[in-house]
Each structure stands twice: as structure tokens, then as C-alpha cells.
């Protein structure tokens, strides 16, 4: 696991859990759900990684916003698998909890980034920062 960056660590760990869950779903012949969950769940970390190399604050914020949306989508698929009784509640609960934690972290990052951007505009109203 990566050290020193909470969201990178959480997203990487979550992606590994999603890979295992997707394998279970494929064994249950739930191919579409497996595919949707795989895409959303692994995309979070990919977007977080891209954000780390953002060319600007705006680029960083865009990638973190995409990661947040992907986390919410993954949470939707996890809820569907849970409520549809496709995967046992015991197996899915820790994964859902981690996804909810990731959503909270990303929401805070995006909110802070937007507030910081807004403060920059107040200090310099002619600023072209998006």
C-alpha cells in the first residue's frame, strides 16, 4: 500500500477489494454487475492518481471530482448487490463502509478545493482560474 496519502491508500485498497468482489460476482454469473462494479471501483484510484499529476489546481479538482462521482457509482452498485441479495451482507458490508469512507474523503477534498478556488477569485477578481 502507498504511504502518506490517505485517499490514494484507500482507493488502492478499495480497488483490490473490488477486484475480489467482481470475481465472486462472475462466479455467480452476475457478469454485468461485476463489470459495472469493476469499472467504477477501480476508476476511483486511477483518477486520484491522475489528480496527483495534475497540471494545475483546476486539473486536480476535475480529476478528484470524477473520482468522487465514480465512488458514488460504485456505492450504488454495492447497494444494489446488497439489497438484491446477490452477495451476502457480511461480505459486502466492509466494502460498502470503505466506499462510503472514500466518498466522504473525496467530498471533503472537492469542497475544500472549490472553496480555495473561490477564495482566490475574491483576492484577485480578475483571476482566470476556473
C-alpha cell at 66: 470524477
**Confidence check: pLDDT of 92 > 80:** yes
Quote the CA–CA distance of 101 and 71 in Å, as a whole number: 10
CB-CB contact of 99 with 75 (8 Å): yes
b/e per residue 37-55 (b: at least 16 CB within 10 A): bbebbbbbbebbebbeeee
Domain ranges of the chain: 6-121
- Sign of torsion, CA 67 45 3 6? positive
CATH topology of domain 6-121: de novo design (two linked rop proteins) (1.20.1440)
Q: pLDDT tens digits, residue range 42-72?
A: 999 999 999 999 899 999 999 999 999 999 9
Amino acid at each position: 500500500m502507498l504511504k502518506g496519502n490517505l485517499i490514494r491508500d484507500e482507493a488502492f485498497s478499495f480497488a483490490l477489494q473490488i477486484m475480489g468482489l467482481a470475481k465472486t460476482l462472475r462466479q455467480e454469473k452476475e457478469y454485468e454487475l461485476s463489470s459495472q462494479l469493476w469499472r467504477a471501483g477501480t476508476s476511483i484510484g486511477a483518477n486520484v492518481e491522475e489528480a496527483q499529476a495534475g497540471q494545475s489546481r483546476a486539473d486536480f479538482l476535475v480529476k478528484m471530482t470524477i473520482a468522487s462521482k465514480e465512488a458514488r457509482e460504485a456505492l450504488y452498485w454495492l447497494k444494489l448487490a446488497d439489497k438484491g441479495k446477490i452477495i451476502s451482507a457480511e461480505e459486502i458490508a466492509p466494502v460498502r463502509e470503505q466506499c462510503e469512507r472514500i466518498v466522504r474523503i473525496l467530498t471533503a477534498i472537492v469542497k475544500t478545493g472549490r472553496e480555495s478556488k473561490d477564495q482566490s477569485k475574491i483576492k484577485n477578481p480578475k483571476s482566470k482560474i476556473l
